[in-house]
Structure 1
Amino acid sequence: MELLTVASAAQRLGVTTRRVQHLVASGQLRMLARGVVDETSVERYLASRGDFRGRPWLEPTAWGAVALLSGRDAAWMGESQRSRLRGKLRTLGARELAGRARGRAVVSRYTGHTSTAGRLRGQVVDTSAAAEALGLTATAAVDGYVAAGELDALVARHGLVRTDAGPFTLRATGMPLDVVTDLAHSATVLAALDLAESLDIRERSAGIDALTGALERFRA
């Protein structure tokens, strides 16, 4: 585990130290001790930001983008909101989309016993099947969505330990899980967004390529 001072993290991200503190408070960066940030969390934040340097979409809008690109209607948004979002999606590249859509969930990573993976995968909305459809091989890692209000109980139940290099990625969201499940199973857009945030070059490339294809189809 590599460590960065808050000032060094701010320099790496090209932001102020106050912004780093805000990112820590919102869970987007992890502070290990007073004034010390986990470098891996900084690298993951940079990957999730893509080419977009502004603030991400709010959660309903981010999920609306996933829905529209997946051929769903985003019923939780008003018609004028959907119309504006459709127009915006027609102008975006894949990397900017990945950065804007990161507000769909708060991402945390954990480690735990190797036997935990199977049980945990059955208690989250797992996107690994869609990732495999994008040409990636199956792994023992878990990457899935969980209701924000259930995250702490899930972590305690499985004895998970927070670490940014862990194999278990939990994405806490306020979107109803039945909606998330439908989007995860109806298209590869959600899995592609997850992959686009990966530190693994092959995974990130697969995600960006899939998002590029989804945007091209949407504009057609």
Structure 2
Amino acid sequence: MSLVEVDAAAERLGITRRRVQHLIASGELHAPARGVVDAESLDRLIARRAGGHTRAWSQETAWAAIAILSGADASWLGGTQQSRLRARLRDLDAPKLVERSRNRAVVTHYSAHPSAIRRVAEDVVYLDRSAQFGLAGSSTLSGYVATDRRDEVVRRHGLIRDDGGTVSLRATAMDLAVVRDVAERSAVLAALDLSESLDVRERRAGSTALTGALEQFRG
């Protein structure tokens, strides 16, 4: 495990040390010991921020943007809010969309026994990258889970926190019925996840899909 001091992490992220501590407390950064963070968790967070420092949308707005781009109803936002969001989406490119929508979930990575992968998939909203993008994904899993159930899923399947692990749990307070609906409607949600990957091929596939979705939205 490669480690980075908290002050260095703050400098790379362009934020304060206090903000880094908040990211550690929320689980977005992994601190295996006092005063340091895991370098891979830092790299993943930088990928999620798409190289920018723009303030992200709230979780509700992020999911509304995903719903709109997926052709679903973002009923939890009022009509005026939806109109403003639609106008914003027309001006965004793929990297900005990735950056603005990062608050849709808190992502934590784990290692797991290969036999547990299938069982974990049954407990989350699983996005099959191999089916949507032709990317090999038989030994990895990325899925959305309710925030208040994440720890239960971790315990049940014996997952071990590991920023280089094969299981990615994306904890969200959004109704999982909404998450499942947008995941089934289009590839937008999976493309956002891929755009935050450290793998160049996956990131390119996600960005290409998001660019296409935005162009289609603009008509």
Looking at structure 1, the residues matched to 102 and 206 of structure 2 have their Cα atoms a distance apart, in angstroms, of 14
1:142 aligns with 2:112: no
Q: Which amino acid is 1:107 matched to?
A: V
Q: CA deviation at 1:32?
A: 1.2
Q: Is the 8 A contact 2:4 2:37 kept in 1?
A: yes
Q: CA deviation at 1:50?
A: 0.8
Looking at structure 2, the residues matched to 184 and 196 of structure 1 have their Cα atoms a distance apart, in angstroms, of 15
User: What whole-Å deviation, never above 9, does each CA across 1:54-95 have from its counterpart, x for those lacking one?
Assistant: 221111100000000001121111101100100000000100
Unaligned runs of 5+ in 1: none
Q: Is the 8 A contact 2:191 2:210 kept in 1?
A: yes
Looking at structure 2, the residues matched to 82 and 52 of structure 1 have their Cα atoms a distance apart, in angstroms, of 24
SS at match of 1:32: coil
Q: Which amino acid is 1:152 matched to?
A: D
RMSD: 1.2
Q: Is the 8 A contact 1:196 1:205 kept in 2?
A: yes
User: What whole-Å deviation, never above 9, does each CA across 1:77-124 have from its counterpart, x for those lacking one?
Assistant: 110110010000000010010011011111111112110001111111
Please report the TM-score for the alignment, with normalisation by the length of structure 1.
Answer: 0.96
Looking at structure 2, the residues matched to 142 and 62 of structure 1 have their Cα atoms a distance apart, in angstroms, of 22
Structure 1 window deviating more from structure 2 (88-97 vs 4-13): it is 4-13
Q: Equivalences for 1:93-108 in 2 at 5 Å?
A: 93-108=93-108
Identify the residue that residue 43 of structure 2 maps to in structure 1. 43
Identify the residue that residue 160 of structure 2 maps to in structure 1. 161
1:196 aligns with 2:195: yes
Q: CA deviation at 1:51?
A: 4.3
Identify the residue that residue 118 of structure 1 maps to in structure 2. 118
Identify the residue that residue 10 of structure 2 maps to in structure 1. 10
Structure 1 window deviating more from structure 2 (38-47 vs 8-17): it is 8-17
Q: Is the 8 A contact 2:14 2:53 kept in 1?
A: no
Could you list the structure 1 runs, at least 4 aligned residues long, displaced by more than 6 angstroms after superposition.
none
Looking at structure 2, the residues matched to 152 and 49 of structure 1 have their Cα atoms a distance apart, in angstroms, of 25
Q: CA deviation at 1:14?
A: 2.4
Looking at structure 1, the residues matched to 149 and 106 of structure 2 have their Cα atoms a distance apart, in angstroms, of 13
Q: Which amino acid is 1:112 matched to?
A: A
Looking at structure 2, the residues matched to 51 and 6 of structure 1 have their Cα atoms a distance apart, in angstroms, of 19
Q: Among all aligned residue pairs of Structure 1 and Structure 2, give the percentage whose two residues are the same amino acid.
A: 53
Q: CA deviation at 1:167?
A: 0.3
Q: How many positions carry a matched residue from both structures?
A: 219
Q: Is the 8 A contact 2:13 2:46 kept in 1?
A: yes
Unaligned runs of 5+ in 2: none
Please report the TM-score for the alignment, with normalisation by the length of structure 2.
Answer: 0.96
Q: Is the 8 A contact 1:52 1:100 kept in 2?
A: no
Q: CA deviation at 1:139?
A: 2.4
